[in-house]
Amino acid sequence: MKKTQTKKAKREYVYRGKSRLEHYKAGAFVVRCLDSRFWKIAKRFIKSLGLKHIDPAFPAGGSKVFSSPFDEHETEHYLGQIAKSIGLHHTERVMLFSHHDCGAYGGFVHFGNDPAKELEFHRGEHRKAVAAIKKRFPRLKVETYFIDPDGIIETTS
Ligand SMILES: [Zn+2]
């Protein structure tokens, strides 16, 4: 009995390392697809902009949660995550990503393997996503990006 109590009080780490405890202002709230193939380049891009302390969300389809959600709760859930990021980390900027060959949209084959058709579709999705976020947070800066095998295209403008 006594032995169990001692063991309970003791922390047994499976991995050791220090975490920084100071609070921060988020450089951006970033939404990207859980598909990791295109994440490395997005990470490098964000870093190249000098943004620090990203608040990330990795739902399937990325920006899709705001334009063509899988169910009626999904958009509301991620709008809530943005609200938390603003409340906790004073976030002023949202960066939405979607990508080439996204399984959440049925893959590249869904667009007949036509890169122009795929990009045009994502531009439309991004316009819808921006509108959904702006409706709730009119002052928030919302940017949208499409990642293809050769780089990142800004679709906001
Ligand atoms: Zn995807």
In the chain, the number of structural domains is: 1
The pLDDT value given to residue 92:
97
**pTM value?**
0.91
Q: Is residue 52 part of a domain?
A: yes
**Cα(12) to centroid(ligand 1), Å:** 37
CA of 21 to the centre of ligand 1 (A): 32
CA–centroid distance, 101 to ligand 1, in Å, is 7
Phi and psi torsions of 131, nearest 5° = -60, -40
Domain that holds residue 126: 44-59+68-157
Q: Is residue 9 part of a domain?
A: no
Query: What pLDDT does residue 7 have?
Result: 57
Inter-CA distances, 125 with 4, 25, 63, 70, 150, Å? 55, 29, 8, 14, 21
**pLDDT on residue 8:** 65
The confidence score (pLDDT) of residue 5 equals 55
Q: Would residue 37 count as lying in a domain?
A: no
* Residue 131 lies inside a defined structural domain of this protein: yes
Integer angstrom CA distances of residue 14 from 20, 21, 71: 19, 20, 37
The Å distance, Cα 32 to ligand 1 centre, comes to: 8
- Express each pLDDT in 45-78 by its tens digit: 999 999 999 999 999 999 999 999 999 899 999 9
Could you say which residues of the chain have pLDDT below 70? 1-8, 157
